[in-house]
Amino acid sequence: MDVHLLVYDLSGGLARQMSAQLLGFQLEAIYHTSIKLNSLEYVYDGAVVSIIPGSSHLGRPLEEIHLGRTELPMDVIEEFLDSLREIYTVEAYDLWKHNCNNFSNDLATFLLGRGIPDHIVNMPQAVLDSPMGRMLLPALNQQINAKKRGGGILGIQESSAGSSSKPTAEFHHHQAVVRNIADNGALESHLLTAKNSCAVIFFTSATCAPCRTLYPVYDELAAEVGNKGVLIKVDISQAYDVGSKYSVSATPTFITFLRGQQENRWTGADPSALRGNVQLLVQMAWPPHPHQSLNLPTLSNPNAKPVIFTKIPPLPKLLAKMGSAAEDPSVQGIKKFIELRSSEGPAEASLPDMGGFTAFVRDSIQRLPTELMFTVIDLLRCGLVDPRFSGYMAEEKGHQTVLSVLEYVNGLGECPYALRLVALQMTCNLFTSPLYPDQILGYDKLRTAITMLISTSFLDDNHSSVRVAAASLLFDVSLYNSLKRRDGPGDVLAEGDQIELAASTLEAISQEESSSEALEGMLRALGYLVYRLPLDGELSDLLRTMDAEDTVLSKRKHFPNMALVSEIGLELLGKGLKRT
C-alpha cells in the first residue's frame, strides 16, 4: 500500500507572508499533517481518528507527499494504531511537543522505517526559540486547553461525517469485524480460515430494507465472537455468482458453517433468531473446557497481563560503563527518548532514530567486549517499554536486531550474569506491543531462540533473579498462548515447543528450594502453559508420564504457605489431567 503524508497550512498562507517580520525567520506554513493509507486519512485531533481524505473543514491539503510503500497488512497496522491511541489522547495533546505531526512521524516510522520531513516535525521548536514565539506561548496554550475540554483540538472529528475513533484494544485482542465479500474466491478464502471453528454468511442486497435493520446486530455479534469465528456479509445484488452458488433467492438469508461443514440455514429479519443461532454455533465450535469447572482462581483471572520490566537505571552511569560507544548519536538519541518518557510521560517523547540505534546494537555485538554488552541490551530493554518502540521492532525485517542479541547470548559458553538477566528482561518487554506475540510464537528462529534462552536460564543455580526473569518470560509466552486457546484460533505455540518448555520448567521446579519468587513464577508459567490444553495431546501425555502433579506437590516441604502449589498441583495437574 502507498503511504502519503497530507500537509495542511493552518495559517491559510499568513505564515509565509508574515513570519519573517514576526518571528525573525521565514516559515512556509503552520503545518498540520496526517497519514493517508488504504483510502483513509489517519490524524491525531485529541484522539486518533480516521476520516475520508480531504473531508474535514481543513479542505484540500497544501501538499501530498508520497513517503513510500508498506507491505504490512491492515490488521497489523490497526493493532499498532490501537497502541498509539493510549499515547495520543486529548489530555496528552501539546501544541509544541506532542501534536499531529508527531503522530504522523510515529506512524510513518512504523510503516516505512523512516519518519516525515524534519522541517515539519521541528517547526514548533523553531517557533518557540524565537522571542515572539515565547511571548505568544501562554495565550496559545490557554486556547488549546480550552479546546481540549471539548474533546478535540481542530474540530476534525466533528467536521467529518466519515470519521471513526476506535476504543483502545485490550491486550493481545484485536476486535473482529464483519468481512464484506464480493466474489466466490474471497468467500472460500475466508471460509477456509474458519475450517476448525465456525462461520456465518449473511446474504443481503441493496434493496433489502429489513436487512439493514440487522446490520448493527451483526456488527455487534462479530465483535462478541472475536477470533472464535468468521462473520461474512455478501451483497447478492453485486456478488451474483456467490448468490447463485448458494441458491439464495431471498434476503436476508443466513448460512452457518461448523468446522468446514454447512450446519444451518434460515431466512428472515429476526434479530433474536440471528443472535441465538450465532451464539449456539459458537458454543458448538468452542465447547467449555473441563478446566473451567476447576478451582483455579489464578488461571481464570481475566485481567492477567504480561510481565514487563519498566525500571529505568541511572542512564549516565549506564552509558559511562559503555565507554566511547556511548558517544554514538543514536545512543544519545535513545537516552533522550527514555529520559523524556520517564520524567514527562510518553506524550513528550518522540521516537528516536530507530534505524540508527538498531544498527548500533548489531554492530556492538561485534565490537564491544562481552562484559559490556549488557549496557547496550539494557538500553534496548528501556526503549522497548514504549509500545511505539516495540511496534517498530516487531516489524523489523527478519527480527535481525532481537535475533542477533538472543543468538549472541545463547551462543556464549559462560554468559555473564548481568548480560543474561537483561536479555531475559528485554525479551519480556517485547510484549508491550500487541504486534510482537504473534511474531514470537509464529517465527521459527525467534521462537527457538527464546525457548533456548528460557530453558538454559532455568539452570542458573547461583542467581535466583535470573530464574525469576526466565519464569516471567515463559509466563508472557504461556499467557498469550492461553488467551489464543480461550478466544481463538487455538494454540499458536507449536506443541513441540510446549513440550520442551514444560519439561524444562518441571525440572526447574523440582530443583527450586530457595526462592519463593522464582517458584511462584515457574508455577504461574506452567499453569498457563497447561490451562485449557487438549487432554488427548502429547503435552498432556508428557505431564502424566513425568508425574507433574507429584513434582509440584513436593514443593510443599520447602514452601508450605504457597497456595499456588495446591492450585497448580492438585487442581490443574491432578484433577485437570484426568481423562474423561
- Within 13 Å and on the Cβ side, how many CA atoms surround 564? 17
Q: What is the pLDDT of residue 167?
A: 36
Q: Which of 4, 98, 100, 211 is catalytic?
A: 100
Give the residue carrying C-alpha cell 516487531.
394
Let me know if 32 is a catalytic residue.
yes
Pairwise CA distance, residues 491 & 505, whole Å: 19
Percent of the chain that is helix, strand, coil (3-state, to 5): 55, 10, 30
**Contacts with 506 (C-beta within 8 Å, 6 or more apart), sequence order:** 526, 543, 546, 548, 551
Stated as kind and residue range, the H or E segment containing 255 is strand 253-258
pLDDT at 155: 54
Q: What is the pLDDT of residue 168?
A: 34
Coil vs helix vs strand at 576:
helix
- Measure the CA–CA gap between 138 and 251, rounded to whole angstroms: 60
Q: Which grid cell is 65?
A: 507527499
Question: Could you give the 3-state DSSP secondary structure of residue 16?
Answer: helix
State the CB neighbour count (10 A cutoff) for residue 360.
22
User: Which residues, at least 6 apart from 48, have a Cβ–Cβ distance to it below 8 Å?
Assistant: 42, 81, 84, 85, 88, 103, 165
**Nearest C-alpha neighbor of 543 from the set 504, 509, 577:** 577
pLDDT of residue 156: 54
**Is the whole model's pTM more than 0.85, yes or no?**
no
pLDDT (0 to 100) of residue 21 = 55
8 Å CB contact between 469 and 519: no
Are 6 and 32 in contact by the 8 Å Cβ rule? The answer is no
Q: Is 100 assigned a catalytic role?
A: yes
DSSP string for residues in 140-206: HHHHHHHHHTTT-SSSHHHH-TT-B-PPPPPTT-PPP-PEEE-SHHHHHHHHHHTTTSEEEEEEE-T
Long-range contacts of 106-109 (CB under 8 A, 24+ apart): 106/350, 106/351, 106/388, 107/35, 107/42, 107/80, 107/81, 108/3, 108/5, 108/35, 108/67, 109/351, 109/354, 109/388, 109/392
Q: Contacts from 259-264 at CB under 8 Å and sequence distance 24+?
A: 259/195, 259/196, 259/197, 259/198, 259/285, 260/191, 260/194, 260/195, 260/196, 263/198
Q: Which three cell numbers stand for residue 307?
A: 510481565
For 261, the 3-state DSSP assignment is: strand
Which residues make beta-bridge pairs with 43?
49
Catalytic residue among 4, 32, 98, 172: 32
> So what's the pLDDT on residue 11?
64
Closest of 407, 533, 518 to residue 472, by C-alpha: 518
For 250, residues 6+ apart whose C-beta sits below 8 A from its C-beta are 267
Q: What is the pLDDT tens value at each position of the chain, 580 positions in all?
A: 899 999 887 666 665 655 555 555 555 667 788 999 877 889 888 788 888 787 777 778 888 999 999 888 777 788 788 888 888 888 877 766 778 888 999 999 888 888 889 888 877 766 656 655 455 445 545 554 554 445 454 555 544 444 444 433 333 344 567 888 888 888 998 898 888 889 999 999 989 999 999 999 999 999 899 888 999 999 999 889 999 999 999 999 999 999 999 999 999 999 999 999 999 999 999 888 899 999 999 999 888 999 999 999 999 999 999 999 999 999 999 999 999 999 988 877 888 889 999 999 999 999 999 999 999 999 999 999 998 899 889 888 889 999 999 999 999 989 999 999 999 999 999 999 888 888 888 889 999 999 999 999 999 999 999 999 999 999 999 999 998 888 777 788 989 999 999 999 999 999 999 999 999 999 999 999 999 998 889 999 999 999 999 999 999 999 999 999 999 999 999 999 986 6
Q: How far apart are CA 308 and CA 475, in angstroms?
A: 11
| Dihedral (Cα; 11, 17, 18, 20), 10-degree rounding | 120
**pLDDT given for residue 131 in this prediction:** 56
Of 223, 232, 226, the closest CA to residue 199 belongs to 232
